[in-house]
Amino acid sequence: MAYKEQYPSALLTEAVEAISSLPGVGRRSALRLALHLLKQPAENVHHFTSAINDLRDGVCYCQRCRMISDDEICAICADKTRDQRTICVVESVRDVMSIEATGQYHGVYHVLGGIISPIAGVGPSDLTIGQLTERVNALENPQTAEVILALSGDVEGETTAFYIYRQIEASGIKVSSLARGLGFGDDLEYADSLTLGRSITNRQIFKP
Amino acid sequence: MAYKEQYPSALLTEAVEAISSLPGVGRRSALRLALHLLKQPAENVHHFTSAINDLRDGVCYCQRCRMISDDEICAICADKTRDQRTICVVESVRDVMSIEATGQYHGVYHVLGGIISPIAGVGPSDLTIGQLTERVNALENPQTAEVILALSGDVEGETTAFYIYRQIEASGIKVSSLARGLGFGDDLEYADSLTLGRSITNRQIFKP
């Protein structure tokens, strides 16, 4: 409070408060950004704030996979060359972008919009699990289709994966999850013992 | 460009572009912030952008010292208990806040709004040096008043200090600059030789 009162102007105080509400931005960085914005031409600042308002007000989500999209069906779901019978289930939009950046995946996605977390008060009904179940049930011959559970390896991720598995197992669809083990280039010496243990248990045939 | 095209929506691309134009914010952080803002209630996002627009459009500067202010004359210049005959000349608004935070200064300020830098194309006329000269010339008995040049110790700071000194020396006002030397708690071993050399040359009487 004492620090707050040192700002020389109420408008500056308001702006610093607003900017420091962003994750990972402290009051010092917020002040630096506010003073930077003050030095810019007014039209640049308005362009900046409009881009953010436009995103928040105009954003659409794909009707099928809940990915951010400019259309009702996103570019990935609309792409006929992609395998529409392999559905990769992820927590967030960012995960889709990470997997797309690998260039290794040619199926489609389903964005849950979060993860089951009793502590954060997030239950299955807050996520798009119902829509995933419908998608799976609408597939012809689900036995030849696949759901990949690409969730984090922590307790919440495992809980969510297990919950989804129970919802869709009756359909007979193949359910897989991401391979876990040492990262490429990882040093054995610095690997945590859980990861190293799993890497040994799930060892693979050496293919030189 | 390849990376840019991976964003799933034009609105998201625009927002990430805008946010990453801030100093010290890369494209990855910008994406993280954009996705964070997407998850917030719309009114929070509008409050955020309004605070920034209000600052840019509504900001005022003190007529006397050019500090950010809500009024024509800032709180420091309007404070009768402060020594109005000691003027501390600083580069930016932030420097005023840093000096105020020390609680050690009871005079007033003059914000230059930058520093003379031929490389950045900033000349004396881009700064508020003319207004400073007018302030000094308007003082009664300038011989008993003081200007403190609180500028950075680099070439540009020294150049600016020298330029200002030449502008105001005729008035007979006392001109001082910040003490330079080892910081409190600094280790001799790690001090640069220029600073250490000046610390020895400008040594002070020991007052236990």
Same domain, A36 and A82: no
Contact between chains at B8 and A92 (C-beta distance less than 8 A): no
Interface membership of B10 toward A (CB under 8 Å): yes
- If residue A89 lies in a helix (H) or strand (E), which one and from where to where? strand A83-90
For residue A4, what are its two tokens?
């707050």
Q: What is the dihedral of CA A100, A104, A108, A109, to 10 degrees?
A: -50
Contact between chains at A14 and B55 (C-beta distance less than 8 A): yes
ipTM greater than cut 0.90:
no
Q: What is the dihedral of CA B184, B185, B191, B195, to 10 degrees?
A: 10
Does the residue A108 lie in any domain? yes
pLDDT in tens, A135-163: 999 999 999 999 999 998 889 999 999 99
Does the residue A187 lie in any domain? no
**What per-residue confidence (pLDDT) applies to B180?**
80
Same domain, A70 and A146: yes
Does the residue B26 lie in any domain? yes
Nearest-Cα distance to chain B for A172, in Å, is 32
- How do beta strands B68-69 and B60-61 pair? antiparallel
Contact between chains at B57 and A68 (C-beta distance less than 8 A): no
For residue A169, what are its two tokens?
């197992």
- At A6, the amino acid letter reads Q
Structural domain of residue A36, as residue ranges? 4-58
Same domain, A65 and A80: yes
Same domain, B89 and B173: yes
Q: How many residues does chain A have?
A: 208
Classify residue A31 by burial, with Cβ atoms within 10 Å: 0-12, 13-18, 19+.
Answer: buried
Q: How far apart are CA B141 and CA B172, in angstroms?
A: 9
Q: Where do the DSSP E strands lie in B35-114?
A: 60-61, 68-69, 83-90, 107-111
**To the nearest whole percent, how much of chain B has pLDDT over 70?**
97
Q: How far apart are CA B68 and CA B75, in angstroms?
A: 10
**Confidence band (pLDDT; 50, 70, 90) for B131?**
very high
Does the residue B154 lie in any domain? yes
Q: Is B23 or A2 the better-scoring residue by pLDDT?
A: B23
Does the residue B135 lie in any domain? yes
Q: How far apart are CA A21 and CA B153, in angstroms?
A: 34
- At A43, the amino acid letter reads E
For residue A198, what are its two tokens?
């799993």
Classify residue B198 by burial, with Cβ atoms within 10 Å: 0-12, 13-18, 19+.
Answer: middle
Same domain, A122 and A84: yes
CATH of the domain at B86: 3.40.1360.10
Same domain, B102 and B33: no
Same domain, B89 and B155: yes
Does the residue B192 lie in any domain? no
Contact between chains at A52 and B49 (C-beta distance less than 8 A): yes
| Residues 27-66 in A contacting B (C-alpha not used; CB under 8 Å) | 29, 31-38, 40, 42, 44-60
Angle at B78 between CA B76 and CA B82, to 5 degrees: 60
Same domain, A113 and A98: yes
Write down the pTM of the prediction: 0.78
Nearest-Cα distance to chain B for A61, in Å, is 10
Give the position of tokens 């420097």.
B95
Please give the average per-residue pLDDT across B117-129, as a whole number: 93
Q: How far apart are CA A74 and CA A110, in angstroms?
A: 11
CATH of the domain at B30: 1.10.8.420
Contact between chains at B53 and A56 (C-beta distance less than 8 A): no
Nearest-Cα distance to chain B for A160, in Å, is 20
Classify residue B105 by burial, with Cβ atoms within 10 Å: 0-12, 13-18, 19+.
Answer: middle
Same domain, A23 and A95: no
**What per-residue confidence (pLDDT) applies to A101?**
87
Q: How many domains does chain B have?
A: 2
Interface membership of B13 toward A (CB under 8 Å): no
- β-sheet bridge partners, residue A88: A109, A148
**Confidence band (pLDDT; 50, 70, 90) for A1?**
very low
**Confidence band (pLDDT; 50, 70, 90) for A179?**
confident
Interface membership of B71 toward A (CB under 8 Å): no
Same domain, B86 and B52: no
pLDDT in tens, A16-72: 999 999 999 999 999 999 999 998 999 999 999 999 999 999 989 999 999 999 889
Same domain, B53 and B86: no
**Crossing angle, helix B42-58 and helix A42-58, to 10 degrees?**
170
Does the residue B208 lie in any domain? no
